[in-house]
Structure 1
């Protein structure tokens, strides 16, 4: 393996890397850095999460940027605020001994006036989210006419979040002579399309096979029901006393509910999702990095940019809607040479969804039994004993108290003392799990029945299916085009051959029906009809009511929104442009809050 000096980096950068503890480049850094330094050719790079992608594209830019020219020479686009901030901070660290090199990070949720002031002072490198970058271009505060490098980081996620239009606008503002660098952890067809449309004869490098999971991560699944999903999550935490994990959920509501339940039950947990303010998000992330939080419950988008090397577990409370996102999730653990475990909590009917993920990972999921109460108590007990054994005694601090303590406990034998000591710490676990059911028996009434997590959703029928070339992303786009509401959440989506089902936040049930009735949309030349469906619990079948196109629909007055109508691009839904900082899309319960920067 090469050294950073052999890759062509100057002494001031290597000194900064040494301060940061960087010793040798990773494989993606070893391949990317000289390629960018020695060539103007566009570059398409695949690297799994946690392999050092940020340094791979930013170090050569820091090396080549002209410190004496204050104009923007590099624009780096990132899908989320958190990731943009992380990249900006990394570049500041890399350029620690290059005082004239300035970095400006721009993103929504923060004062645009302050960012404009910073840009006016000059910044050779700008890191930004697509929406805020476009806002600054429109205000003529960000000028990209002298840009030499355009970096699209996490390009797959930018597409998933519906930022194609913003990418187009940024590209229009940059010169054709620039070098475009596309970095992604996965390479679905849409990312290949970006490369084809935005790049000229790009070179391709990889630190592993495309879309394949890390070798340091093992993959397990637990079979659960809706009722046992949360108890199983707690048992995973209890059987791993030193757990340091991200728990992934699909919607903001689900994320907050699970985090609240964990905190109420005494776990060191908190939530990270798009409804939190930037100050709240920063506070949660800081506590998580310091390990004051052991379990971070997060949505896929909110977790982007979390640069944590020592995660023990990634737990999929629900599987992601898009297969590639599982790879992103599991890549949060098993980083920097550490081993990690990715766990999926799934129902029986979800088991088939593991097969396409296994094909991508080139690994098999291992079916693991949900830990029993007895197993958890045994693990916790010996964890406690290990803690006691390894505790350092501070003689000077307790010395004066020891005679009184010895006198008070002199009537107890060694065995009695150990028993009492263990009981103080351990009685709560014993009582909690004393009569705990076996969660692996899915056929019992106790485990199989219970409140569904979709009680807050209304299920709709739509007269489109696979034969109409409908997919989840296109359905999201169609729903978003109806301008139903700024924060409406879309739940699960089931695409069948000739018709489909989708869920909407029940608070928007009337608005959904009214919007489809007023707009009367068509899809590939077909009139679109939707109806509310209800499950007949007695028969197990479904019945529909409230058609949006005649039939049982009883009209409800609702003014049609004015302004530019939304559209769908590459299958990813878009909201109206005038909705600043409030973009929402989701697939099968996975909500995404898309922000303008």
Structure 2
């Protein structure tokens, strides 16, 4: 059996691992640690979220650091504040028995003055988000000339979030580095490009299949009409009373709307989106980790770096536009060997995209029937009964009141008590679901237009509208050079405008410009929302591609 000691980890770190309870290395740790301990070899590690990547690079870093020299020697770059803090915390646990190695986390949303003071006091490892690190570099508050090791963690997520230019800027600042260690769940062309440009013949390992889904995750989908999407979501939540999970939407407007609707109906849920302050975000995440709330609803950007254990379900209220994003979403569940469920709500026109995702994760999606009202009530009832029977009655403050209870129920038999409990607990569900409609899409025969459309994945509806000229075409001076991919660009323009994805057609992106198809009724709103605004210091120009300039040559 492979051990951390046999991989070359030194005594001080082994003691810390024993205290934490780390016994056997995971596959990524087993393959990466011997290579990284050399310190001079560029490295690419491809592995899904939750496979132990932090220890895979963290243990070699701590062993290679010269703790006598109180200057930054290693740099870990990650996409979000949450992941930044988590990595810093893990490194602190790993080094607990080794001695005084300084680890400093620098991220936005916290006092930059405090972070500068901590760096000046002397530190060895900087864990940073790209934006805050560049801020420190430009203020000349940090010197990266002594950095020997650069770790890019969750590299694909950083590129999806538009950090490509930031990463390249940082790499150009680490002129004396000995090696770059890149960890990613997927390997899109942009990451391969970074690898070729900045790394020298890297040692590459893959744990599992690239872009493959976690084997512990059951991928399910519910076919529903667009108008029934919200009602279907409620049915799924009600049918899974022990559910603890994240609901993903495309836009922050959708996240907020769904959250407000569910809260009004008594569900324990909070939204996580870009409009929250850091203090509000921390409060929401704190409540979610403590399980004070059952559900978190988030956009892909807002959810980056969330690492919460024991999530049972991920629900895709809408499928992501970039199929690779699905891997990141579903990877929030089924972690550390536990099982999880990834649920997608899919309209007939989205079936084709679902099939593409199936190929990407190399997993068959199971089609589920939307539960009926009776199914939901039955499931909720038995869940309540099981919960009641499993309640711990050994120590309770209620004991003082038992004589009063016995007196109150002296003339009430057991069957009547059960009936009263059921009526009290399930009155709301029974009334709501008494005449609940069947939300499942029924195939009305081979000749039905809907079934034909579903088979073609709805391609007809989108392409025909475009070719018939029913879309307005908008020009915007933003493109891939601005750090956008289609998914992040779509998220950006929808967040800026507050519009729904349903009003959009094709998006054609080039280096410096893009063209967006949009329903004419929504075109002016999109233009007003973006035209004249600033993005990274550059003025956005958006207009009608046919009448206002921006024609393609």
TM-score of the pair, normalised by structure 1: 0.79
Who is 1:495 aligned against?
A: 506
What are structure 1's unaligned runs of at least 5 residues? 445-458, 523-527, 532-546, 552-597
Q: Which residue number in structure 2 is paired with residue 197 of structure 1?
A: 197
In structure 1, the residue matched to 2:404 is 404
Matches of 1:479 and 1:402, distance apart in 2: 60
Q: Which residue of 1 aligns with 2:548?
A: 548
DSSP 3-state at the match of 1:25:
coil
**2:185 aligns to what?**
185
Q: Which residue matches 1:296?
A: 296
* Offset, 1:500: 4.9
Deviates more, 1:172-181 or 1:493-502: 493-502
What pairs up with 1:285-434 in 2 under 5 angstroms? 285-394=285-394, 397-434=397-434
Partner secondary structure for residue 417 of structure 2: helix
8 Å Cα contact 1:370/1:440 also seen in 2: yes
Q: Match of 1:38, SS? A: coil
Where 1:193 maps in the other structure, the secondary structure is helix
* Structure 1 contact 236–371 (Cα < 8 Å) conserved: yes
SS of the residue corresponding to residue 48 of structure 2 reads: coil
Classify the secondary structure of the residue corresponding to 1:301. Answer: coil
Partner residue in 2 for 1:32? 32
Answer yes or no: is the 8 Å Cα contact 1:460–1:530 preserved in 2.
no
CA distance in 2, matches of 1:81, 1:281: 11
- Bigger Cα displacement from structure 2, 178-187 vs 297-306: 297-306
Secondary structure of the structure 1 residue equivalent to 2:375: helix
**Would you say how many aligned residue pairs link Structure 1 and Structure 2?**
511
Residue 255 to residue 37, structure 1, CA distance change in 2 (3 Å): same
1:382, distance to aligned residue in structure 2 (A): 0.7
Distance in 2 (alpha carbons) for counterparts of 1:398 and 1:480 = 52
Q: Is the 8 A contact 1:79 1:157 kept in 2?
A: yes
Task: After TM superposition, list the pairs within 5 Å mapping 1:96-245 onto structure 2.
Answer: 96-245=96-245
SS at match of 1:342: strand
Go from structure 1 to structure 2 and tell me whether the alpha carbon gap of 1:79 and 1:404 turns closer, same or farther (over 3 Å shift). Answer: closer
Distance 2:300 2:16 in 1: 32
Cα gap change, 1:512/1:397 in structure 2, threshold over 3 Å: closer, same or farther? closer
- CA deviation digits over 1:305-363, x for unaligned, max 9? 22222111000011112111100110111111111110011111011101221111111
Task: Report how far residue 133 of structure 1 moved.
Answer: 0.9
Aligned CA RMSD, in angstroms, stands at 3.4
Where 1:345 maps in the other structure, the secondary structure is: strand
State the SS of the aligned residue for 2:219.
Answer: strand
Q: Deviations over 1:434-472 (max 9, x none)?
A: 11111114799xxxxxxxxxxxxxx9722789xx999x9
Residue by residue, what CA displacement relative to the aligned partner does 1:59-90 show, whole Å, maximum 9, x if unpaired?
11011111111111111111122211211121
Alpha-carbon displacement from aligned partner over 1:393-427 (angstroms, at most 9, x marks no partner)? 24774444333322322222221121112221122
Cα separation, 2, equivalents of 1:366 and 1:411: 51
Change (3 A) 1:52 1:11: same
Q: CA-to-partner distance for each residue in 1:501-524, whole Å, 9 max, x for gaps?
A: 1487975543556789xx9979xx
Asked whether the 8 Å contact 1:155–1:184 carries over to 2, the reply is: yes
The answer on whether the counterparts of 1:491 and 1:505 sit within 8 Å (CA) in structure 2 is no
- Is the partner of 2:14 in helix, strand or coil? helix
Paired residue for 1:558?
Answer: none
In structure 2, what is the Cα distance between the partners aligned to 1:185 and 1:381?
40
The CA deviation at 1:473 is: 4.7
1:530 match: 545
Matching residue of 1:253? 253
Deviations 1:263-299 (A, max 9, x none): 2211111111221111111111111111111111011
Question: 1:548 offset after TM fit, Å?
Answer: 2.6
Q: Deviations over 1:117-151 (max 9, x none)?
A: 11111111001111111111111111111111101
Cα distance, 1:370–1:506 mapped onto 2, change above 3 Å: farther
User: Is residue 2:528 matched to residue 1:510?
Assistant: yes
Counterparts in 2 of 1:405 and 1:490: CA distance versus 1, 3 Å:
closer
- Secondary structure of 1:303's partner? coil
Q: Secondary structure at the match of 2:302?
A: helix
Find the residue that maps to 2:343 and give its secondary structure: strand
Question: Which residue of structure 2 aligns with residue 54 of structure 1?
Answer: 54
Q: How does 1:2-21 map to 2 (within 5 A)?
A: 2-21=2-21
- Is 1:461 matched with 2:469? no
CA–CA distance in 2 between the matches of 1:192 and 1:245? 33
Could you tell me whether the CA contact under 8 Å between 2:326 and 2:357 is conserved in 1? Answer: yes
Further displaced range: 490-499 or 12-21: 490-499
Query: What is the SS of the residue equivalent to 2:227?
Result: coil
Residue 226 of structure 2: SS of its match in structure 1? coil
**Consecutive unaligned residues in structure 2, runs of 5 or more:** 445-469, 510-514
Deviates more, 1:197-206 or 1:398-407: 398-407
Give yes or no for contact 1:224–1:442 (8 Å, CA) kept in 2.
no
How far apart are the structure 2 equivalents of 1:25 and 1:360?
A: 28
1:259 aligned counterpart, secondary structure: helix
User: How far did residue 97 of structure 1 move?
Assistant: 2.4
Q: Does the 8 Å contact 2:473/2:544 carry over to 1?
A: yes
Query: Contact (CA 8 Å) 1:247, 1:317: kept in 2 or not?
Result: yes
Change (3 A) 1:348 1:396: closer
Paired residues of 2:153 and 2:184 also in contact (CA < 8 A): yes
Paired with 2:491 and 2:221, the residues of 1 have a C-alpha distance of 34
Greater shift in the superposed pair: 34-43 or 120-129: 34-43
The answer to whether the 8 A contact 1:107-1:128 is kept is yes
CA spacing shift, 1:379–1:17, aligned 2, 3 Å? same
| Paired position in structure 1 for 2:460 | none
Tell whether the 8 Å contact from 2:219 to 2:342 is kept in structure 1 after alignment: yes
Q: Distance in 1 between matches of 2:212 and 2:159?
A: 20
Partners of 2:297 and 2:533 in 1: how far apart? 33
Greater share of residues in helix: 2
Contact 2:29 2:56 in 1 (8 A): yes
In the superposition, relative to structure 1, how do residues 201 and 83 fare at CA in structure 2: closer, same or farther (>3 Å)? Answer: same
CA contact (8 A) 2:530 2:540 kept: no
